[in-house]
Structure formats: C-alpha cells, structure tokens
Amino acid sequence: GESVGLHLPTLSVQEGDNSIINCAYSNSASDYFIWYKQESGKGPQFIIDIRSNMDKRQGQRVTVLLNKTVKHLSLQIAATQPGDSAVYFCAENTVGGADGLTFGKGTHLIIQP
Amino acid sequence: ETGVTQTPRHLVMGMTNKKSLKCEQHLGHNAMYWYKQSAKKPLELMFVYSLEERVENNSVPSRFSPECPNSSHLFLHLHTLQPEDSALYLCASSYRDSATGELFFGEGSRLTVL
C-alpha cells in the first residue's frame, strides 16, 4: 500500500538554529503535500502546503521543499524558537479533497535552550 | 480558539460504560471527520460526514457509532470499548471539495478505557 513516513522520530536542535524535518512518500500521484504542527495537548494545526507542480514554497520562517524525483518532502524552520517544540506531520493528498489525506507518524522536534 | 471545539477534553470509562464525544465547528465547513491518534502511529481516519451524510467508514468496529445531526455538530458514541481503544480522538472539519484537503482540527478528546 501507499505510505507516508518520516525519517526520524525525534529531532533535537539548539534554540536559534535552523531545523530540517524530512518526509518520504511513495505515491507519485499525490497532488498536494501538507505539513501540520501538533503541540502538546493540542490538535494538529496547518503550517504550509505545496502542490506537486512546485519545488519550493516559503512561509513565515518555514520553507517546504519537494523533490519528486526521490519522492522526498522537507520542512525547514529557520531560527527555531521554544514555541516550535511540537510534533510535525507530513500528509499527502492523492485523490483530492480531505478524504484523501494520508498522514505520516510524526517527528518530535525538541528545542534546546 | 481553533474554530473546532471538542468535549470532553478527557474521558475515563470502563469497558461496560456508554459515553459520547462531541464536536462543534464554527467555520462554515460542509464536512466533518473523526480521527484516532494512538502513540507512535499515524492519524487514522475513522469516519467522514459530508452534508450530514456518512460518506466513509474505514472498517471501524461497531462499538464506535457516529452521529451528525447537522453540518456543525458531530458526535462519536462509545459503548463496550476495549482498553486498546484508549487514544486521542480528533475531530476535524473542512470544505469537502477543497483542492488541498486542508483539515481544521479540534484539540481532541483523550480517552482512557479501563
């Protein structure tokens, strides 16, 4: 079956450093990829998305890169802050509409002071 | 305030109890969802409602019974659950035909089955 996975369950970075969270996917037909952030005790929140016809998209302190050749997605967070500590999920949308979201397991980002 | 409100936030129940989880969305969306989130596992889609009709049921055991009385409210009725059903249950809403599939989640109901 198709799957979306994250390379590392936990990533620890120093406050102020940049962090990169990776995601591998297997369905080349995916149209959209979405990154969610889930803080402790809260539900997942949308961070940024990218369409399959793009390679890069930037938001506020976040950048998503898509490499369709190797089916790899990454989330870069610049100048990490304590509030960035959370679990980050990637999700892919293969059939259109929210029914088609397939989620990865998540990477726990820990910001060290 | 996320726009999607879930109650209760925490629930402890015995295997013979009957309880319900409630979700309300204030975003004007036309689809609502129940997801199960267990430790170290991806989010699992349980039910999808679009315009108050169930459009998907991912082989969820009958001890979970959803109800969607209108486009703003969603319930998950629980009865004779098992300890392995302990998890975070997340409600979400969206526009069903959204091209991106973006979901708006509530903060979840943490369920513990004893």
Over chain A (113 residues), the average pLDDT of each successive run of 10 is 56 96 88 92 92 95 95 96 95 75 89 93
Q: Which of chain A's residues have a Cβ under 8 Å away from the Cβ of B49?
A: none
Segment B58-64 mean pLDDT = 90
Question: What does the pLDDT read at residue B102?
Answer: 86
State how far residue A108 is from chain B, nearest Cα, in angstroms: 11
pLDDT at A96: 64
Strands (DSSP E) along A1-106, which ranges?
A: 4-6, 10-14, 19-25, 32-38, 45-51, 56-58, 62-67, 72-77, 86-93, 101-103
What is the distance between the alpha carbons of residues A109 and A105, in angstroms, rounded to a whole number?
13
Distance between A113 CA and the closest CA of chain B, angstroms? 26
For residue B109, the SS3 value is strand
**In terms of CA atoms, which chain A residue is nearest residue B39?**
A105
Q: Higher pLDDT residue, B55 or A92?
A: A92
- Res B71: pLDDT: 92
B56-77 average pLDDT score: 92
Q: Which of A33, A37, A35, A45 is nearest to B105 (CA)?
A: A45
What integer pLDDT is reported at residue A2 of this predicted model? 35
CA closest to B100 among chain A residues: A32
The structure tokens 């015995």 sit at: B14
Q: Does the beta carbon of B108 lie under 8 angstroms from any beta carbon of chain A?
A: yes
Q: Does B1 lie at the interface with A, CB-CB under 8 angstroms? A: no
Q: Which of A97-106, B2-11, B48-57 has the highest mean pLDDT?
A: B2-11
Contact A98 B42 (CB under 8 A): no
A89 closest CA partner among A64, A68, A108: A108
Q: Which helix (H) or strand (E) holds B70?
A: strand B64-70
Whole-number average pLDDT of chain B: 91
Token pair, residue B75, equals 């319930």
Residue B63 has a pLDDT of 95
Residue A30 identity (one-letter amino acid): S
Whether the predicted pLDDT of B76 surpasses 90: yes
Please state, in angstroms and rounded to a whole number, the distance separating the CA atoms of residues B57 and B52.
14
Nearest CA in chain A to B56: A99
What per-residue confidence (pLDDT) applies to A8? 57
pLDDT over threshold 90, residue B79: yes
Least CB-CB distance to B33: which of A4, A98, A102? Answer: A98
